[in-house]
Structure formats: structure tokens, C-alpha cells
């Protein structure tokens, strides 16, 4: 069984090709056909096929008019119907022949269905939302990602390139410029205070924030220094008011012998970039909000993977 160490830089590639992941764009019908040719391998998501999801005149939405949700479902189903026959498009691209689908694609889809470690990634930044699924077993990783549920990127690569691929997940969109933030590089705050301040701001009661900060039982730390008053109010409030995006990763080991447990990595995108949200319980219930770079994701993820993997797979 291979042990994954995401904190160690990968060794230099022996060739240019070894340093690159293989990537392929597939429409949803093409992806489903490839999965069928791979022995009926299940895909890591559940999406409507667009056949019976459009509201008809006899349905409730048909009688009462389309809601925003039903209109979006209809547009999605209509977009799927405009796509060409998946077998024809795959054959024209040389990805499917009379002998079946290209072996690399079949292997990648098979790995998506039979991994040892699974990461479900949800990233929202600005107006963009991306869902990705990373699956690892042995020395290989396969990933699947989409931002619209119609076109997917299928990729597969050696496990020592996983760190590089994870960094791609958190790259902020180019049309979302970064600036300065009122949140320090490391903010350590009682969880109850952070939660209550967020609720007050969402309810339009910003006038309550100074009261909540003043009555908090725990201290607020900015880069290891205790702060209070307006400085603490600005720092804690900015965690909520500066939000421009968020990322959540659910990590789990998938094996017959393991008791399934799930680990979570959460980041929030503020004015100056990504900040990790890490709960702490060594000094009461607290949360650390720490400035991070996209390249830090592998390091943040490594202890979470150690928590969800079976004890015999963890390095001693």
C-alpha cells in the first residue's frame, strides 16, 4: 500500500511528458458513454440526464409558471439536447474505435470508481464555481472537474504530481484582482464570537458587533498579539464582510477494511487572497484564520489525509 506524503516536493521528472498530466475535455454524454465502455463504472456525481427534467404543461411548474430553479433546469436540459451524438464525436476524435475506448481514458474512469483516497472539492470564487473529484490509488491519480455540469475535464497523472494539480484548484480567477485585507495574516478568535458576529452582520445588525466583541469570554489574537476594541471589531468583521469566495474539500479513505471517516479542509477567499479556517480545541473552541497561498493546499491537506487513512498506512 502506497503512503502519500503531500508535504515533500515531488522528484524532478525524467522527461517533459512525465511532468504533465494528461487532460481531456468531455461533454457529459461523452463521459457517460466512456463510463459505460469502462464496464459500467459509476461516476462520482449524480446529475440529471436532461430527458424528463423539463417541466411539461401537466407538471406543477408548468401550471404555475417557471421558477428560477426550473428555468435553469430547463436551460441545462436544453443545452444537453443540443450536443452531438457522443459516440460519433468520440470516434471523430479517435478516442473510441471498434475495439473500445482509448485505454488511458478507460483506466482514468476506472480509477474514479475504485480509489483508495477520495477528495470532493467545491470552489467558488467571484461568479465562478467549480466542482472537482480527485481519486487516488497506488501510484496514480485521476481527477474530474466541471464548472457547468456539461463539459468536464478528465485528467490522470502520477501521484507525485498531485501537489501541482491541487495548486490548480485554488488559483484565483484572473478577473478577480487581489488587494489588501483588514484580516491579519493569522487571526485567532473564539468560535462562538466569530459565529455570532457573522450572524449579526447577516441580519443587518452591525451595531451589535462591538457589543459582542466586548462581552466575549475569550481573547482575540492578531499575529500572536492580543487585540480588542475597534481593532478586534474590524478584524473579526472583515472575515465575513470581505468574503469573495470559499473552498471546501471533503477527504475520505475508500476501502473495504477501513471505517469510513471524513476530513475537511475549509478556505475563504478574502480581499488579499485565500485564508484557511482551522478549528482548535486546545484552548476552548476557537478558529484560526490564516493567510495561505495556493501552493499551501497540499501541506494543509496532508494531516487531514493522515486522519482519515487507516492507522497502518500512516508513517511512523
Asked whether residue 150 falls in the same domain as residue 275, the answer is: no
Residues 6+ apart with CB under 8 A from 69: none
Q: How many domains does the chain contain in total?
A: 2
Q: How confident is the model at residue 10 (pLDDT cuts 50, 70, 90)?
A: very low
Q: Would you say residue 265 lies in a domain?
A: yes
* Domain annotation covers residue 306: yes
Residue 173: per-residue pLDDT: 77
For residue 247, tell me if it sits in a domain.
yes
Do 150 and 227 lie in a common domain?
no
Q: Tell me, yes or no, whether 315 lies in a domain.
A: yes
**Does some domain include residue 40?**
yes
pLDDT at 90 (0 to 100): 93
Nearest to 265 by CA among 141, 122, 116: 122
Q: Is residue 6 part of a domain?
A: no
Q: Are residues 164 and 202 in the same domain?
A: no
158 compared with 15, residue with greater pLDDT: 158
Q: Where are the alpha helices (DSSP H) in 41-161?
A: 60-64, 68-81, 86-92, 103-113
Residue 108's SS3 state is helix
Residue 10 in any domain: the answer is no
Instruction: Identify which has the larger pLDDT, 255 or 274.
Output: 274
Same-domain status, 241 and 280: yes
State whether 199 and 301 are in the same domain: yes
Q: Is residue 8 part of a domain?
A: no
The pTM of this model reads 0.81
Domain boundary among the residues 111, 135, 169 is at 169
Confidence of residue 199 (pLDDT cuts 50, 70, 90): very high
CA dist 216 and 200 (Å) reads 14
Higher-confidence position of 171 and 40 = 40
pLDDT at 240 over 70: yes
Mean pLDDT of 221-245: 95
* CA atoms of 94 and 26, how far apart (whole Å): 13
Q: Of the candidates 126, 150, 169, which is a domain's last residue?
A: 169
Are residues 298 and 160 part of one domain? Answer: no
User: Do 164 and 276 belong together in one domain?
Assistant: no
Burial 85-119 (b: 16+ CB within 10 A, else e): ebeebbeeeebbeeeebbeebbebbbbbbebbbbb
pLDDT at residue 12 is higher than 80: no
What is the reported pLDDT for 61? 47
| The pLDDT value given to residue 4 | 44
The residue segments making up the domain with residue 115 are 20-169
Residue with cell 477520495: 118
| 273 vs 67 pLDDT, higher one | 273
Residue 18 has pLDDT above 70, yes or no: no
Q: Are residues 114 and 93 in the same domain?
A: yes
Residues 219 and 119 in one domain: no
- Both 152 and 79 in one domain: the answer is yes
Same domain, 238 and 134: no
DSSP state of 234: H
Residue that finishes a domain, picked among 169, 185, 219 = 169
Q: pLDDT tier at 99 (50, 70, 90 boundaries)? A: confident
Band of the pLDDT at 258, cuts 50, 70, 90? low
Q: Are residues 150 and 194 in the same domain?
A: no
Amino acid at each position: 500500500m502506497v503512503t502519500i506524503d503531500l508535504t515533500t516536493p515531488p522528484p524532478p521528472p525524467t522527461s517533459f511528458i512525465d511532468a504533465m498530466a494528461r487532460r481531456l475535455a468531455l461533454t457529459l454524454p461523452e463521459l457517460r458513454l466512456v463510463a459505460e465502455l469502462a464496464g459500467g463504472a459509476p461516476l462520482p456525481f449524480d446529475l440529471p440526464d436532461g430527458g424528463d427534467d423539463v417541466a411539461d404543461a401537466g407538471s406543477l411548474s408548468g401550471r404555475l409558471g417557471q421558477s428560477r430553479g426550473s428555468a435553469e433546469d430547463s436551460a441545462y436540459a436544453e443545452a444537453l439536447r443540443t450536443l452531438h451524438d457522443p459516440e460519433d464525436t468520440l470516434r471523430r476524435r479517435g478516442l473510441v474505435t471498434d475495439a473500445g475506448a482509448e485505454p488511458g481514458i478507460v483506466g482514468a474512469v476506472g480509477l474514479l470508481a475504485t480509489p483508495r483516497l477520495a477528495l470532493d472539492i467545491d470552489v467558488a470564487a467571484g461568479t465562478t464555481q467549480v466542482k472537482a473529484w480527485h481519486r487516488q490509488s497506488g501510484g496514480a491519480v485521476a481527477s474530474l472537474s466541471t464548472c457547468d455540469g456539461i463539459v468536464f475535464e478528465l485528467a490522470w497523472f502520477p501521484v507525485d504530481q498531485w501537489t501541482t494539480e491541487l495548486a490548480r484548484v485554488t488559483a484565483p480567477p484572473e478577473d478577480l484582482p487581489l488587494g489588501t485585507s483588514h484580516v491579519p495574516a493569522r487571526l485567532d478568535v473564539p468560535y462562538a464570537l466569530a459565529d455570532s458576529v457573522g450572524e449579526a452582520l447577516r441580519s443587518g445588525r452591525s451595531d451589535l458587533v462591538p457589543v459582542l466583541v466586548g462581552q466575549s469570554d475569550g481573547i482575540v489574537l492578531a499575529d500572536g498579539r492580543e487585540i480588542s476594541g475597534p481593532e478586534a471589531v474590524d478584524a473579526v468583521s472583515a472575515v465575513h464582510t470581505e468574503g469573495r469566495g470559499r473552498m471546501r474539500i471533503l477527504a475520505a479513505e475508500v476501502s473495504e477494511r477501513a471505517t469510513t471517516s471524513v476530513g475537511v479542509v475549509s478556505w475563504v477567499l478574502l480581499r488579499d487572497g485565500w485564508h484557511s479556517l482551522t478549528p482548535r480545541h486546545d484552548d476552548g473552541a476557537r478558529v484560526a484564520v490564516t493567510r495561505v497561498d495556493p501552493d499551501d493546499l497540499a501541506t494543509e491537506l496532508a494531516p487531514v489525509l493522515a486522519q482519515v487513512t487507516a492507522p497502518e498506512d500512516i508513517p511512523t
